[in-house]
Amino acid sequence: MNNRFYGELILLLIACLVALPLQFIPKLKENKKVEIIFGLVVFAVFGIYKAI
């Protein structure tokens, strides 16, 4: 496996760790704005990483 695979794996793990509060904190779970912003940030980070 190459270094790019490990970089993507690390990004995925970071995204999962950041998403955990969205699942376990009720105020954040009910807030749709937080979910949308999180989704956009994750797509932006992965998009920038893929473009490099």
DSSP category for residue 25 = -
Residue 45's domain comprises 3-51
Query: Whole-angstrom distance between the N-terminal and C-terminal Cα of the chain?
Result: 19
Instruction: Give the model's pLDDT for residue 52.
Output: 64
Mean pLDDT of 20-40: 80
Instruction: Give the model's pLDDT for residue 28.
Output: 72
Average pLDDT, the chain: 78
Distance CA 41, CA 11 (A): 12
- Answering whether pTM is above 0.75, one says no
Distance CA 4, CA 27 (A): 36
Distance CA 31, CA 6 (A): 32
Q: Indicate the number of domains in the chain.
A: 1
φ, ψ dihedrals at 29, nearest 5°: -65, -35
